[in-house]
């Protein structure tokens, strides 16, 4: 739920990456972390499954100041995909303004995608959020692997569904920022309709997008340099 703090002239949005275990949610966040300007994002907090913890999720805040003097914060979370962590997923999903559903493109994982989607729908409902109202994009990740659902098939489901669909190879940084931009725009528009953000904050959609997605001047850290054109 978007949080306004008009006294401190601050607004906080929440974006959640949801999806089955190992679909590449953390990898998305790692890419975003590398691409964005270190001055406009916080540290990446990764609580990963290699530790003996009962709690896994990732968190990274992004922030910028608008020309009108508002601080805009976007907190990006990922949820743990493992079935047993349902309650953590639900807590993390609470109050989300936008959701990226990161699906695994591998054919063998279609069932896992579907189950995760149903689980998400259920958790949204319990959190008082409406699947039909919340801003949502779908990302088909791991396009580099063999035995994935074909481009045609994805184009077809994209045409039929109402959620915008993005293709990504997060491990190479491909499609990650496009997906993020997609969900940010969608979320902004929907919040704008509901809360009249542009007028209240004196910020346009484009200022919001360029503010949040301000790239680092150090773009193309070692692991990204070889894939020019994939990154903004």
Partner 1 sequence: MKSVSPPSTMDSSVLQKSFSLGELLDLESFREVCESYAGLFQIGFKIFDRSRELLVDVKGSGADFCAYLFQLPEGKVRCTREVSIIRDLEISGRDPIYYDCHTGLRYALAPIFHEGDAIGRLLYGPYLPADVSPPDLSYLGERFNPGIASRLLGNVRKVRSDVVFKVIRHLTQTIEVMLFIGYKHVLISRLHVEAVTASYADLQVKNQELAESFRRLKELDRLKSNFLATVSHELRTPLTSVIGYSEMLLERLAGPLTDEQREYIGTIMEKGEQLLGLISSILDFSKIDTGALRLNPTPTNVVEVTRSAVTTVMPMARKLGVTIDFAAEQKTPIIHADTDKIRQVLVNILGNAIKFNRKDGTVFVKVAPISRPSQSARVGEDLPVALIPAMEEFVSIAVADTGVGIPSDKLDRIFDSFYQVDGSSTREYGGTGLGLAITRNLVEVHGGIIEVESKPEKGSTFTVLLPIEPVT
Ligand X SMILES: Nc1nc2c(ncn2[C@@H]2O[C@H](COP(=O)(O)OP(=O)(O)O)[C@@H](O)[C@H]2O)c(=O)[nH]1
Stretch that binds ligand X, among 1-9, 63-71, 142-150, 213-221 (CB under 6 A): 142-150
Return the closest-CA partner of residue 23 out of 171, 162, 182: 171
Under the binding rule (CB under 8 A), the answer on residue 53 touching partner 1 is yes
Return the closest-CA partner of residue 57 out of 79, 88, 85: 79
Under the binding rule (CB under 8 A), the answer on residue 34 touching partner 1 is no
Exposure class string for 171-196: b at 16+ Cβ within 10 A, else e: bbbbbbbebbbbbbbbbbebbbeeee
Under the binding rule (CB under 6 A), the answer on residue 145 touching ligand X is yes
**Quick one: 19 or 211, whose CB is closer to Mg ion?**
19
Under the binding rule (CB under 6 A), the answer on residue 26 touching ligand X is yes
**Quick one: 79 or 134, whose CB is closer to ligand X?**
79
| d(C-alpha 66, C-alpha 199), whole Å | 13
Binding mask 125-164 for partner 1 (x = CB under 8 A): xxxx------------------------------------
| d(C-alpha 176, C-alpha 182), whole Å | 10
| d(C-alpha 223, C-alpha 195), whole Å | 40
Q: Which residues of this protein are in contact with partner 1, per CB under 8 A?
A: 1, 3, 39-40, 42-43, 45, 47, 53-55, 57, 59, 61-63, 71, 73, 75, 77, 85-88, 90-92, 94-95, 125-128
């Amino acid at each position: 739920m978007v949080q306004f703090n008009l006294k401190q002239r601050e607004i906080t949005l929440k974006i959640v990456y949801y999806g089955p275990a190992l679909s590449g949610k953390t990898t998305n966040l790692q890419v975003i972390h590398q691409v964005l300007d270190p001055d406009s994002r916080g540290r990446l907090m990764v609580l990963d499954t290699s530790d003996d913890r009962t709690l896994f999720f990732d968190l990274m805040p992004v922030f910028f100041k608008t020309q009108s003097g508002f601080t805009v914060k976007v907190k990006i979370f990922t949820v743990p995909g493992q079935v047993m962590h349902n309650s953590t997923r639900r807590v993390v999903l609470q109050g989300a303004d936008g959701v990226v559903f990161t699906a695994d493109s591998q054919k063998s994982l279609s069932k896992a995608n579907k189950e995760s989607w149903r689980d998400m729908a259920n958790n949204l409902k319990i959190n008082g959020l409406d699947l039909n109202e919340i801003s949502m994009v779908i990302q088909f990740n791991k396009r580099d692997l063999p035995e994935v659902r074909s481009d045609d098939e994805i184009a077809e489901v994209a045409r039929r569904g109402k959620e915008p669909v993005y293709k990504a190879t997060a491990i190479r940084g491909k499609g990650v920022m496009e997906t993020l931009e997609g969900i940010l725009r969608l979320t902004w528009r929907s919040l704008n309709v509901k809360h009249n953000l542009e007028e209240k904050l004196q910020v346009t959609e484009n200022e919001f997008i360029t503010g949040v997605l301000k790239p680092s001047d150090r773009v193309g850290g070692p692991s990204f340099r070889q894939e020019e054109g994939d990154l903004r």
